[in-house]
Amino acid sequence: MKKVLLLFLVFAFLFSCAERKVTSTKETVQPEQEQTKKEKMTLPEQKEGIAPVRQENVQESAREVGVKSLEEVLKNDIHFDFDRYDIKTEDKATLKEIADWLIQNSGVSIRIEGNCDERGTNEYNLGLGDRRANSAKSYLMTLGVSSSRIQTISYGEERPLCTESNETCWARNRRDHFTAAE
Amino acid sequence: MKKLLIPITCILVFFIVICLGHEAYAKIYIDIDSPALRQFPMALYDFGEDKIGQELTGIVRNDLEFTRLFYFVRKEAFIEEKGDDFNPADWSPIGVEAVLKGDITVTDKINVVVRLYDVVETKIILYKQYISAKPALRSLAHRISNDIYYALTGRKGIFNTKIAFVSKGSKIKELVMMDFDGARLHKTGFRKSMMLALHASADGSSLIISASGGRQWSIYLLNFTKGSVRRIFSSKGINIAGDFFSGGKSFVFSSSKDGSPDIYVFDIASGRSRRLTSSYWIDISPSLSPDDRSIAFVSDRSGNPNIYTMSINGDNVQRVTFEDKYNTSPSWSPAGDLIAYSGLVKGKNQIFTVKPDATNARQLTDSGNNEEPDFSPDGRFITFTSDRDGYKAIYIMTTGGENQRRVSPHGYRAFGPEWLSN
């Protein structure tokens, strides 16, 4: 119990520091990158909308990164096409968020679990799941996360989220799932 | 060291077998290599009228019929009584070429006398007495089938072989064994949350298997003689067991320990591995040719998974499959003349065979998904996983795709069959 409390306090301290640090330095260090990402993400819905005030936007996204728990950052799976292991454009934001969080919170490691749909064969799917997990790992490494903080495991078709035999279900199962590593 | 539950059928069953007469094995009655094979017409008398006699008859008959090499003439057509002396004149008019007469006496042991007659040459070709303990009835029946099969074909039968596979619970997988016909299913006690890629040594005494509790993939070595389980290889990434070399001292496997999945050789005594392929692609599922000189494997180097062969040092890579876009699970036949694999056709996996020189690709299944083919020790049959009945289960068929049947129990979810040699 004591340990948990201590851990909580340490985290709370880290987060508060991170937030402050980010808000003060963000504008000079990363404004361009953050803005591009934000624009990209909001583009479809806000095509003719009012451009958000730049500074506010940056602060908003920074606070998100700082305040979110690891579980929240890792809650979104990324998905793959059948028999493919390349990272899709729409999943790059998810990976960026994970990378940002990890960079700001040293000492935490994650595990990437590569999964496949049921259509392929068992062994090949295990290989495919391995490549999927490693694709995400490589991507996080290019964003600056040390490889020693990323474990990977392939579950092949062994741990489906959904067990119906249709494309919607298969698409959900072709995923990398992220979790905190002990 | 963890202990396995050794099923009774894995312990050698001792029979007393007495040859009672001169056996003329020289003649081959059924040339199983002949392309124009007809079913050999036989007469089979019940071994006995009681339950145990009927059971013995049923097992022998099922064994021989499963091969599709024999045809049993209906008992109503028999002229001769079982107790009568064998007379070829009773049989040639109805086209019977061999007659099997067997008698069973049950005391505290089972005592069976078997006589197999050649109608054409008017002689006895098998005359043996078998004595065994009562619980060994099935083993005894299969032994008799093997002797009949050998007397008529000159080849070793597969009737006392077993199939190892993985039973699929919702959370846990377990290594299970059964007779080739699905009888005497028993659990081994080897359980993990994920398990696949079973490969047996040539003598059937050892099995390697890949398993994971959720963190890491390891290769385990199970020894049925000692009843032992040992984790022999583990690393980050995936580690998938492949075939043993003939001597049983080393095996091929695929691993992503150095990056993307590649093919390696593992030496059990030293614990060292040697890398054979080194590519950016997925190279996986190695299967050894019976002469230990070539490896069939899966690679997606063309953009989609296909079967390739290479020499044992990793040179001379040749593509074997060209049809469709998803060909996996290669398994080399014991004679080296065929590679069985699973190919995706219209969204479903089907079993194919192809010659190692990439000719004669032949589709054997067409119902449901069919995966993970593995040849019987005599190369005449293939066991595989199919979901044609709505759930994954273990099936067998002839190498030509005939006589496809589920052998694991109805409703029992299972996959990954490996046909053991004895």
In angstroms, the Cα distances linking A15 to A96, A101, B294 are 18, 10, 58
Which of these three, A67, A84, A103, is where a domain ends? A67
Whether the predicted pLDDT of A19 surpasses 90: no
The CATH fold assigned to B162-419 is: Neuraminidase (2.120.10)
Indicate the pLDDT class of residue B22, thresholds 50, 70 and 90: low
Q: What is the predicted pLDDT for the residue at B13?
A: 56
Whether the predicted pLDDT of A45 surpasses 60: no
Same domain, A48 and A79: no
Alpha carbon distance B150, B146 (integer Å) = 6
Query: What SS3 state is found at B276?
Result: coil
Residue range(s) in chain B whose domain bears CATH number 3.40.50.10070? 13-153
Per the structure, the complete domain to which residue A139 belongs is given by 70-182
Q: Do A124 and B349 touch (CB under 8 A)?
A: no
Alpha carbon distance B210, B215 (integer Å) = 13
Same domain, A49 and A116: no
Q: Do A130 and B212 touch (CB under 8 A)?
A: no
Whether the predicted pLDDT of A63 surpasses 80: no
- pLDDT tens per residue across span B322-355: 987 899 999 999 999 999 999 999 999 999 999 9
Chain A partners of B300 at a C-beta cutoff of 8 Å?
A: 83
Q: Do A124 and B305 touch (CB under 8 A)?
A: yes
Locate tokens 């995706």: which residue? B344
Task: Give the residue from B313, B311, B200, B277 showing the smallest Cα distance to B246.
Answer: B200
Q: Do A119 and B344 touch (CB under 8 A)?
A: yes
Q: Do A154 and B237 touch (CB under 8 A)?
A: yes
Chain B partners of A134 at a C-beta cutoff of 8 Å?
A: 256, 259-260
Locate tokens 């998100």: which residue? A64
Alpha carbon distance B154, B345 (integer Å) = 38
Whether the predicted pLDDT of B106 surpasses 80: yes
Same domain, A75 and A27: no
For B13-153, give the CATH class: alpha beta
More confident residue, B281 or B422: B281
CB B50 within 8 A of CB B101: no
Least confident of A15-24, B168-177, B381-390: A15-24
Same domain, A60 and A112: no
Average pLDDT over residues A99-124: 94
For chain B, the maximum distance between any two Cα atoms, rounded to a whole number of angstroms, is 73
- pLDDT tens per residue across span A113-155: 999 999 889 999 999 999 999 999 999 999 999 999 999 999 9
Does A134 touch chain B if contact means CB atoms closer than 8 Å? Answer: yes
Half-sphere exposure of B87 (CA within 13 A, CB side): 11
Q: What is the predicted pLDDT for the residue at A33?
A: 41
Q: Any idea what the CATH number is for the domain that residue A120 is in? A: 3.30.1330.60
What are the start-end ranges of the H helices in A68-161?
70-73, 92-104, 122-142
Nearest by CB to residue B328, choosing from A120, A131, A155, is A120
Query: What SS3 state is found at B348?
Result: strand
Q: Do A154 and B217 touch (CB under 8 A)?
A: yes
Least confident of A164-178, B34-48, B396-410: B34-48
Q: How many residues does chain B have?
A: 422
Q: What is the predicted pLDDT for the residue at A1?
A: 46
- Cross-strand pairs, A146: none
Nearest by CB to residue B284, choosing from A124, A151, A153, is A124
Can you tell me the ipTM of this complex?
Answer: 0.89
Same domain, A82 and A57: no
- pLDDT tens per residue across span B53-95: 999 999 999 999 999 899 999 999 999 998 889 999 999 999 9
Which of these three, A46, A67, A88, is where a domain ends? A67
SS3 content of chain A, % helix, strand, coil (to 5): 60, 10, 30
Q: Which residues contact A105 (CB under 8 A, 6 or more apart)?
A: A14, A18, A70
Q: Do B194 and A130 touch (CB under 8 A)?
A: no
Same domain, A53 and A84: no
| Chain B: residues touching A (Cβ < 8 Å) | 193-194, 196-197, 212, 214-217, 236-238, 240, 254, 256, 259-261, 282, 284-285, 298, 300, 304-305, 325-326, 328-329, 342, 344, 347, 349, 369, 371-372, 415-416
Same domain, A126 and A153: yes
Q: Which residues contact A106 (CB under 8 A, 6 or more apart)?
A: none
Residue range(s) in chain B whose domain bears CATH number 2.120.10.30? 162-419
Domain count within chain A:
2
Locate tokens 């019977």: which residue? B96
Chain B partners of A127 at a C-beta cutoff of 8 Å?
A: 238, 240, 254, 256, 261, 282, 284, 298
Same domain, A57 and A90: no
Same domain, A52 and A5: yes
The Cα angle at residue B372 between residues B329 and B323, in degrees rounded to 5: 50
CA distance B202 to chain A (A): 22
Which of these three, A14, A44, A67, is where a domain ends? A67
Is beta strand A110-115 parallel, antiparallel or unpaired with respect to A150-156? parallel
Same domain, A79 and A143: yes
The separation between the first and the last C-alpha atoms of chain A, rounded to the nearest angstrom, is 18
Same domain, A18 and A41: yes
Same domain, A132 and A178: yes
Q: Which residues contact A22 (CB under 8 A, 6 or more apart)?
A: A62, A63, A65, A66, A104
Handedness of CA B389, B394, B399, B404 (dihedral sign): negative
Q: Count CB atoms within 10 A of the CB of residue A56.
A: 9
Average pLDDT over residues B200-228: 93
Average pLDDT over residues B8-21: 62
Q: Do B282 and A126 touch (CB under 8 A)?
A: no
